[in-house]
Amino acid sequence: MSAHNNNGVVTPAADAAISEVLEKKELRSWKAAIALGVFSLVSILLFLVFPRHGETGFRWSNKDDLISLPTWNTDAALTGQVVTVLLIILTAVVVWATLKTGTLIPRTRRIIVTAAVIVFAVAFMVAFLAWAMVGNNVPVTGLLLGTVSLSVPLIFGAMGGVISERVGVVNVAIEGQLLAGAFCSAMVASLTGSPWVGLLAAMVAGVLVSFVLAAFAIKYLVDQVIVGVVLNVLVTGLTSFLYSSVLTKDAATLNTAPRLSPVAIPGLSEIPVIGPVLFNQSALVYVMYIVVALVFLGLFKTRWGLRLRAVGEHPKAADTVGINVARTRFWNVSLAGAIAGLGGAYFTLVSVGSFQKEMVAGAGFIALAAVIFGRWDPIRATLAALLFGFASNLQNVLAAVGSPVPSEFMLMLPYVVTILAVAGLVGQSVGPAASGKPYIKG
Amino acid sequence: MKLELRGITKKFGAFTANDRINLVVEPGQIHCLLGENGAGKSTLMNVLYGLYQADGGEILLDDEVQQFAGPGDAMRAGIGMVHQHFMLVPVFTVAENVILGHEQAGFAGVLKMKEARARVREISARFGFDVDPDARVGDLPVGVQQRVEIIKALSQDARVLVFDEPTAVLTPQETDELMAIMQQLRAEGRSIVFITHKLREVREVADAITVIRLGKIVGEADPTASNAELAALMVGRSVDLTVHKEPAKPGSEVLKVSGLTVLDENGLKVVNDVSFSLRQGEILAIAGVQGNGQTELTEALLGLQQKVSGSITLNGSEILGTSVRSILDAGVGFVPEDRNRDGLIAEFTIAENLMLDRSTGAPFVKAGSVQREYRDAFATEKRTEFDIRSGSINSFASELSGGNQQKVVLARELSRDLALFVAAQPTRGIDVGSIEFVHKRMVATRDAGVPVIVVSTELDEVVALADRIAVMYRGEIVGIVPANTPREVLGLMMAGERHAEETDASAEVSA
């Protein structure tokens, strides 16, 4: 940093050395290698030790599709053998890349590992489906469509979670926000006959839950996790009570919501597989695409996002440049509530058409897990939510065809995936530094 | 811009942090605000910066009364602050940190990052900083982070700049560079308030000096005033800044550390292959800028670090890898760096804190119950011996001043039969009176034949106490040198430069 000349006088070096970035050492992580190894063992067990014989078809399109793709028929046992070999090779690749930590360029190594993990997951899934559904057709489009359906509330919830946590308030109340949104949208849409007013009501309901969270967490500095948990219990109790004491008394006028029907986007919806899955959906799903894009761009490219993240990372620094920490937190937690509320409306205005007791059934917590799994990044959180949605849907599909895996076991699947994800299997999760910490001025 | 504070008063409950303070800073002037820790300097600046609202008095800029509802108002009025604890978001880039709060944005609030980067480059070029606008602040060394703070203030074209204890985290060389920057800012006609408690720095750059004690202005001094005069003003009585000690009479070797390596939770070597030895009756001071592995080294000596390798022998037996309890029983006394977090339990009384490490058996505990009479008698005795100023032995530790808290820690640690005494930052944030006391006790401990390790980031303290000085940089000991080594050499060593005398000194040690 400095030069020491003959007189013992110190002069600052003229060149660039001062702003040298502190060297960072890359750490070797065996998590990916171990996970792949375990799944390789599972595939050896399933596909080589207990193989099932017969044909499995992968159906890529429905009868009335404009462009019709042929169904792939595969031999389950053969697929299993080929895939197992592939998985072992991929595991070896990841082990090699892990051993080379420090010698490989970090970026190259990350790309190799990520690509290997993705190929591994897809290959394993193909072989598993072929194995589990021998003698049946796998409705690929249906499987993906169901995934999106189940993921929509999770994604809305996760976006609410990302915003809230990024601004520094842990949002355990996503469950309550979803449930309040579901309840209010059902009732208001039934009363007004308009699903659009129902959506608005869902947002208001989510905001109201957020107000309570924000008031206690920001103004009264109550532990945010505790407020969140209590809110969930409160909303569950309140909606259940109102459901049995009000909604069921006159279900025809109060709990028969008009549903948002799918709207096919001309052109796009004709694309095989992707079209029917992504572009023949209800308006709420299109809103979701926009919300995810806006949250992502907003967080990282705009003044709103910069201030929001500053408040969540280092509230005092934000305060010293004139940003009102409490106000920023309050309104953004409210915004998070509005977005999560929309997710709740999906249950009543798209999936079911009426409110049922405790119909959210833990989706809020899975959304919270998606936030952490997605490392507080809107896009990654969305992908995580889709993964959880896929796990849930897989269980539905396998239960329907009567797979050899007990359905009780399959019911655990989404939650097992959640636990593995949150336990940091996929990498270190470091959240916003000040998330969960109340800001006390001075 | 001329800054004037008139009769600023700030109260926290019954406590008056600032009592009718008047201060005038002329343009092109460096005005030093000198005072001990807790004298009210930072409070005053937080009032000026709009973080606190004054209970009385007014702030004038160029003779116009200002009303600051928050820091945003103060910034717009032309006041910039370089905070003691940097107000930077570690995960943001330099440019993002600089624009935060007054972002230029286009359609839909989309940030104009290109302009922001250009602004950072322009300002850093003017001062020869060479800061990369796209570097992540958390990855930058502290000296550079401080420059980002300066750029942040200047990007708003601050005409009044406040530097709050800016040298605490810098090496002596970086301090010199900062002084040069301050002089350059002065030459540009800005008004500068420089807050510090280090006398050397004051005399180097100040045009005017105001001394503040217990929230009141107690006097103004000329930059030509002697250290003793300034110190007397600061403390309110004449103080003896030198530590009196006889030359060390080292006895037999007690502690031998060889090849000690400590990994942090990320697997980085925070202490890297450190070796030294220590004899009876000598003080080894460990110097270095904060965060170069001193904390981890002292914690490793007490067995608090998990991932350690190498060897630490105390009186010939290996203590590395044994429990904290057995290391304490082997006679290691330890004053931790952060007394509030690691040294005391704030909600416990003085008497309880004094017996914290002796809850395993007699005489404090018999048959599982605390012997209250013994405990209280012990506490009463220690309270007198260590001059702990408190209501009673049943006062809570949280009610004590920093200096008295530190005396409680010292009393506890020095009341056992010690084979080694380790003190990390023993005088940080405490008043001059307590500093004198702590220094005296450490020398007394040495004279009683106990080897002492003291870690300090204050070079004055290092030089005053040490019989030998080990300088740490990035986890390594760059050299062990005698106490009379020139400051410039120590400064360079603190910046990582190995010194020729190192070999001589270590030869002397191993002899």
Residues of B in contact with A298 (CB under 8 A): 109
Least confident of A359-373, A388-402, B51-65, B396-410: A388-402
Residues B24 and B126 in one domain: yes
* Interchain contact, B89 vs A313, CB within 8 Å: yes
- Domain end: B180, B210, B235, which one? B235
The tens digit of pLDDT for each residue in A32-80 reads 888 888 889 989 998 888 888 888 888 887 766 667 777 888 888 899 9
Residues B400 and B286 in one domain: no
* Interchain contact, B88 vs A314, CB within 8 Å: yes
- Three-state SS for A311-361 is HHHCHHHHHHCCCCHHHHHHHHHHHHHHHHHHHHHHHHHHHHCCCCCCCCC
Residues B462 and B399 in one domain: no
Q: pTM for the complete prediction? A: 0.81
The tens digit of pLDDT for each residue in A95-147 reads 998 888 777 787 888 888 888 988 998 899 889 888 888 888 888 888 899 99
Residues of B in contact with A2 (CB under 8 A): 173, 492, 495
**Which residues does B446 contact at the CB level (< 8 Å), separation at least 6?**
B245, B248, B281, B282, B283, B452, B467
Residue B41 counted as domain residue = yes
- Closest residue of chain A to B74, computed from CA coordinates: A322
CATH number, domain with residue B444: 3.40.50.300
C-alpha closest to that of A228 among A273, A177, A294, A281: A177
- A103 in Cβ contact with A24 (< 8 Å): no
Residues B222 and B296 in one domain: no
Domain with CATH 1.10.3470 in chain A: 141-422
- Quote the ipTM score: 0.82
Counting the structural domains of chain B, the total is: 3
CB atoms closer than 10 angstroms to residue A191: 15
CA-to-CA dists, residue B369 to B359, B360, B361, B363, B395, angstroms: 9, 10, 9, 11, 21
Residues B439 and B376 in one domain: no
Residue B337 counted as domain residue = no
- A308 in Cβ contact with A167 (< 8 Å): yes
* Interchain contact, B486 vs A433, CB within 8 Å: no
Confidence grade of residue A425 (pLDDT, cut at 50, 70, 90):
low
Residues B313 and B398 in one domain: no
Residues of A in contact with B105 (CB under 8 A): 302-303
- Closest residue of chain B to A324, computed from CA coordinates: B70
Cα–Cα distance measured from residue B146 to residue A19, given in angstroms and rounded to the nearest whole number: 11
- B489 in Cβ contact with B504 (< 8 Å): no
Confidence grade of residue A421 (pLDDT, cut at 50, 70, 90):
low
Residues B500 and B382 in one domain: no
Cα–Cα distance measured from residue B159 to residue B28, given in angstroms and rounded to the nearest whole number: 10
CA-to-CA dists, residue B383 to A91, A136, B370, B397, angstroms: 65, 84, 19, 13
Residue B339 counted as domain residue = no
- At the top level of CATH, the class of A141-422 is mainly alpha
Residues of A in contact with B136 (CB under 8 A): 21
Cα–Cα distance measured from residue B92 to residue B380, given in angstroms and rounded to the nearest whole number: 52
Residue B314 counted as domain residue = yes
Check residue B60 and give its pLDDT: 93
The tens digit of pLDDT for each residue in B83-134 reads 888 999 999 999 999 999 889 888 889 999 999 999 999 999 988 888 999 9
Which of B49, B101, B488 has the CB atom closest to A8's CB atom? B488
- Domain end: B220, B235, B250, which one? B235
Residue B430 counted as domain residue = yes
Residues of B in contact with A4 (CB under 8 A): 492, 497
Residues B36 and B117 in one domain: yes
Place of tokens 């979803």: A178
- Domain end: B171, B203, B235, which one? B235
> Any alpha helices (H) in B415-465, and if so which ranges?
432-447, 459-465
Helices (H) and strands (E) in chain B, counts: 17, 22
Burial classification of residue B365, based on how many CB atoms lie within 10 Å of its CB (0-12 exposed, 13-18 middle, 19 or more buried): middle
The tens digit of pLDDT for each residue in A210-245 reads 999 999 999 898 899 999 999 999 999 999 999 999
Check residue B430 and give its pLDDT: 82
Check residue A19 and give its pLDDT: 34
Q: Average pLDDT for residues A16-30, to the nearest whole number?
A: 50
Domain with B98, as residue range(s), is 3-235
Instruction: Name the stretches of chain B with pLDDT < 70.
Output: 241, 499-511
pLDDT at A20 over 60: no
Confidence grade of residue A26 (pLDDT, cut at 50, 70, 90):
low
Which of B100, B492, B496 has the CB atom closest to A310's CB atom? B100
**Which residues does B335 contact at the CB level (< 8 Å), separation at least 6?**
B343, B406, B409, B410, B413, B422, B423, B424, B426
Confidence grade of residue A413 (pLDDT, cut at 50, 70, 90):
confident
Check residue B108 and give its pLDDT: 86
Q: Average pLDDT for residues A185-194, to the nearest whole number?
A: 94
* Interchain contact, A21 vs B88, CB within 8 Å: no
Residue B336 counted as domain residue = no
**Which residues does A264 contact at the CB level (< 8 Å), separation at least 6?**
A279, A280
Residues B352 and B212 in one domain: no
Output the six-digit token pair for B221: 């001094």
Least confident of A324-328, A421-425, B247-251: A421-425
Check residue A164 and give its pLDDT: 96
